Amino acid sequence: MNSRVKELFDEDWVKLKAILPVGWEEQARILGALKFGRKIKTPEQLLRLLLQHFANNDSMRTTVVKGMIGQIADISDVGLLKRINKSGEWLRWICAQLSTQKSAPLLAGDVLNGRRLLVADGSVVCEPRAVNATWRLHYMLDLRHMTCHEMHLTTAKVGESLTQFGIEAGDVVICDRGFTKRRGVNHVLDQGGDILARMNLTCIPLQDKQGEKFDLLPLIRTLELGQCGAWNAVLEGGKELIPVRVCAYRKTIEQRETSERRLKREMSKRARAKEAQASTIELAGYVVVVTTLMTLSADEILGLYRHRWQVELVFKRLKSLLKIGNLKKKNPEGARAWLQGKLLVACLIERLIAMGELFFPVETNLKEEIDS
């Protein structure tokens, strides 16, 4: 390796190492990442080699060759595989610590007076040649800072639920239909948080003020195309009845037709013999959410819900740029470690972007000239 290239390579590592949480080297030994490792002596050597593998999506052989040329470590591809398998819990610890680091808020027009706005979602990953999904990533995005707030990696048998996440008093949680289940919603409310969720008629049945079943369809049918509306209802919480608002937006004809096509396509992919119920198809023409935020207007509520798309973009970046959907490991220990390594790269990228938002990349004398 050219001496100048190696110098720049080492300078970049110094900058990256400054982002890592306090105690990351000690945790490598505590959590067994260096256990039985003779070729790699230090946590720094190990992490540099792992990031080379995860960030570039290199093969084992390519990674060890680059590690040898870069004078990081001289190890075989089999030895690297063993190190990856032992590093899963260490990588998970680093990701969890990075998720607690916050930058300056990026979300403008805050109608929540500084309250934390969290978006929950999940995605599945398949092992090589697997017919069904093998792993599920449970992810929560801090929308004000555009960084990962919390993430969990489980088998695909563990369903989407808000109970996976830690909630604090004052948090506002946004989620799609998959997370709109009574147990998860009650988990948020019991911790003092608020919910803003896509309406799920079967999992969180609502009541009107008279204690009768909340009949949604007759109400939303009164909306004109492109119009928003809101109605009060009652949700059966874990400890008491909770007042909620149901807010709806009636889509335009073009939006409704697009949603109906998507719904029918999803139904066909799931190989359901029966066609979707007429009410389900009708609801595709609306965006209906339920929330415990009682002071905001319907337009403000639906405006907040539109931000949920940001977590979809996170998964798109993970799968398209970091190739997290192309799982290469077959054994559970290696698969978990590989996925955690990809998530660590994503967390480091988020931190670097957040730091870049606060950095003025202009020389001091030029900046003074601009300011004057």
CA distance 87 to 75: 16
Based on the fold, state whether residues 217 and 301 are members of the same structural domain: yes
pLDDT at 371: 44
Amino acid (one-letter) located at 337: A
pLDDT at 359: 46
**For 83, phi and psi rounded to 5 degrees?**
-65, -40
Based on the fold, state whether residues 273 and 351 are members of the same structural domain: no
CA distance 171 to 174: 10
Query: Is residue 368, in this structure, part of any structural domain at all?
Result: no
Give helix then strand counts, H and E, for the chain. 14, 9
Number of domains within the chain = 2
Query: Is residue 230, in this structure, part of any structural domain at all?
Result: yes
pLDDT at 357: 53
pLDDT at 3: 61
Domain ranges, residue 238: 199-305
pLDDT at 156: 86
pLDDT at 363: 40
Based on the fold, state whether residues 342 and 247 are members of the same structural domain: no
Query: Is residue 266, in this structure, part of any structural domain at all?
Result: yes
* Per-residue CA distances from 98 to 19, 93, 147, 284, 350 (Å): 8, 9, 9, 38, 9
Based on the fold, state whether residues 300 and 335 are members of the same structural domain: no
pLDDT at 89: 92
**What confidence tens digit (pLDDT) does each residue in 58-70 have?**
888 999 898 888 8
Based on the fold, state whether residues 301 and 204 are members of the same structural domain: yes
pLDDT at 16: 87
Q: If we measure between CA atoms, which residue out of 21, 27, 76, 20 comes closest to residue 48? A: 20
Q: In which residue ranges of the chain is pLDDT below 50?
A: 108-109, 271-275, 358-372
Sheet containing strand 206-207, edge to edge, reads 147-155, 135-142, 117-125, 172-175, 194-198, 286-291, 241-250, 228-236, 206-207
CA distance 27 to 204: 42
pLDDT at 161: 92
Apex 272 CA angle, 269 and 273, nearest 5: 130
Give Rg (Cα) of the chain.
24
Q: How far is CA 225 from the centre of its chain?
A: 32
pLDDT at 143: 84
Exposure of 132 in the CB half-sphere (CA atoms within 13 A): 4
Based on the fold, state whether residues 214 and 301 are members of the same structural domain: yes
Query: Is residue 317, in this structure, part of any structural domain at all?
Result: no
Query: Is residue 270, in this structure, part of any structural domain at all?
Result: yes
Total-model pTM: 0.75
pLDDT at 270: 56
H or E element in which residue 319 lies: helix 309-320
Query: Is residue 322, in this structure, part of any structural domain at all?
Result: no
pLDDT at 268: 66
Q: If we measure between CA atoms, which residue out of 223, 240, 222, 242 comes closest to residue 232? A: 242
The per-residue b/e assignment along 256-270, b for 16 or more CB within 10 angstroms, e otherwise, is beebbeeeeeeeeee
